[in-house]
Structures are given as structure tokens and as C-alpha cells.
Amino acid sequence: MFRILSMAHTRKESVKRIDLNETDRKELEKRAKSYTSQVKDSLRARIILLKAQNMTQEQIRSELNVSRRTVMKWVNRFDEQGIEGLDDAPGRGRKPWISDEINNRIITEATRPPENRSRWSLRTMAKEVGVSNTHVLKIWRANDIKPHLTKTFKLSKDPRFEEKFWAWCSFITSAPKMERFPHYPIL
């Protein structure tokens, strides 16, 4: 009633040939040899290059020390989408949980300090908006916002400052042009 099936079943690999044009081959070789690209990009490129040399999935698997499933995945994606298929699919990774509204509010409110204060601090901004101090800091750094630095001109407290200021201005305007800036050509 029961049959014992032979366990000597061998998987037949579907033979997919990959024919690369010259631009794809150069791009894949560049990715495979690049020292600055990520390891995953290099690995994906090497899988396709080896498959283009008519190596089997098992040979590629053993040479690159990856699973058969990995080889199949990238060969199929390359076959369907080309070079673009070797990039990560969109939507991967953690989704941002802080909305663009809040980020925009952090940026715009940085220029409008709260009442009774001259400027925002990280903690007061974070408490006001309802996010962490670190998030406010990341937004400020990304947009080069530095509310603690103010660009103002401070006058001297010298009682004779105005007299000295006008004396200096008249000296500069009355000096001959050649003597004023001897190192610069006259325009």
C-alpha cells in the first residue's frame, strides 16, 4: 500500500543563459571590482558575471559561498529587470515614523524662538514638538540650523565711540587711493 520513493532524486536546474551586452558587462565588472561599493552589490554582480560564463547554480554557490536560493534570486531578478534588478527593491528598511509635517515644523520654528526666550534649545524644541532631542539635532544638522549662533553687530560701550567712528571714516575716505591699499590695483 505504501511506496518508498527513492531519495536519490536530483534537482534539475533550469538552464538559464545570460547574454550580456558590452555596457552591462562593464558595469557588472565595475561593481564586482569596486572597493567602495557595498559587499552585497559586489556579490550580486559576481553572481551574474559567473552565470554569464555558463556556470551552474551549484558551481556559483560553491565558489561564492552563498545559498542556492541567493543565486536563483539574483539571476531571476537580473533576467527580469536587468541591471536595475540588482539594486535593493524600494520599500525596504524601517519606515519613518515622524511625519514631514513635524520635520517642517522643526525647521520653521527654529527661526521663531518661544516667548520669554531668545532662542530654542534642543530640549525645549523636542518637548514642544513631541519628538526626541536626537531627532531635533538630526534635522538641525541636516539643514545647517544653528539657533545658538547669532549674527549681530555689537557696538562698543566706549562713550567716545561715535566720535572715533566718524574720525576713522573720514580718515579712510580722505586718504589717497594709492596709499590706502598699496597692495591692490586701482580699479
* Domain hosting residue 119, numbered range: 100-142
Asked whether residue 71 falls in the same domain as residue 116, the answer is no
Asked whether residue 104 falls in the same domain as residue 80, the answer is no
Asked whether residue 80 falls in the same domain as residue 28, the answer is yes
Residue 17 within a domain: no
What does the alpha-carbon distance between residue 45 and residue 20 come to, in Å, rounded to a whole number? 12
Residue 159 within a domain: no
Q: Give helix 100-109 / helix 122-129 axis angle, nearest 10°.
A: 140
Render pLDDT for 4-29 as a digit per residue (tens, 0 to 9).
Answer: 333 444 455 556 678 888 888 998 89
Render pLDDT for 134-151 as a digit per residue (tens, 0 to 9).
Answer: 999 999 998 888 887 767
Asked whether residue 105 falls in the same domain as residue 79, the answer is no
Check: pTM over 0.75? Answer yes or no. Answer: no
Residue 111 within a domain: yes
Residue 68 within a domain: yes
User: What local confidence, expressed as pLDDT, does residue 136 receive?
Assistant: 92
Residue 124 within a domain: yes
The residues, ordered by sequence, that sit 6+ positions from 111 with a Cβ below 8 Å of its Cβ are 147
Asked whether residue 75 falls in the same domain as residue 130, the answer is no
Residue 118 within a domain: yes
Residue 173 within a domain: no
What does the alpha-carbon distance between residue 48 and residue 83 come to, in Å, rounded to a whole number? 10
Strand runs labelled E in the chain: none
Identity at 182, one-letter amino acid code: P
| Block residue for cell numbers 531668545 | 118
Residue 175 within a domain: no
CATH no. for residue 78? Answer: 1.10.10
What is the tally of structural domains in the chain? 2
Burial environment of residue 27 by CB neighbours within 10 A (0 to 12, 13 to 18, 19 or more): middle
End-to-end CA distance of the chain: 108
| Block residue for cell numbers 571714516 | 169
